[in-house]
Amino acid sequence: MTTATKYFSPAEARSTLPLVRRIVKDILDTSREMRLTAEEIDDEYIKYNPQIKKMAEDINGFIAELEEIGCFYKDWNFNIGLVDFPAVIDNKEVMLCWKSDEDDIKFFHDIDAGYSGRKPIPEDYLNF
C-alpha cells in the first residue's frame, strides 16, 4: 500500500523540529557509537557482531520514525544529520532542507538537486 506524500509548509515542518531534532541526535549518536565499536572488531566478523546488528536496527528504526512524520533522512555518511521535508513552492514539488546544526528550516532544493542545490526559502513562503 502506498501512502500519499505529505507536503509540509515551512511552519508545519518547523513544528516537527523538536521531535526530528531528537531522532536525528539518536541517529548520529548511535552511528558514532557504531563506528567506535566497529573499529575494535576484526572486519571479517563485523557483520556478525550482535552489538553492531542492534545499533544498525536502532538506526533503521529511527529513520522509520522520521518517515512516519513524513520527512526523510538524507545523510548516509551520518555526519551532518540532513533531513528533507516534501513541500510545494511556486506550484513545484521541492524539499525543505534542514541539518542538525541549524536552528530553523530556512532552505529548500529542487527534488533532483539535493543538498548542493540549497536555496533560501522565499520570504513569502516562510510564515505559512
Number of domains in the chain: 1
| 2 occurs within a structural domain | no
Find the domain containing 112 and state its range. 10-126
How much is the pTM?
A: 0.89
SS (H, E, C) the chain: CCCCCCCCCHHHHHHHHHHHHHHHHHHHHHHHHHHHHHHCCCHHHHHHCHHHHHHHHHHHHHHHHHHHHCCEECCCCCCCCEEEEEEEECCEEEEEEEECCCCCCCEEEECCCCHHHCEECCHHHHCC
Q: Going residue by residue through the chain, which has 128 residues, state the pLDDT in tens, using 9 for 90 and above.
A: 445 789 999 999 999 999 999 999 999 999 999 999 888 887 777 778 899 999 999 999 999 999 999 999 999 999 999 999 999 999 999 999 999 999 999 999 999 998 899 999 998 887 66
| 5 occurs within a structural domain | no
Q: What is the pLDDT of residue 99?
A: 96
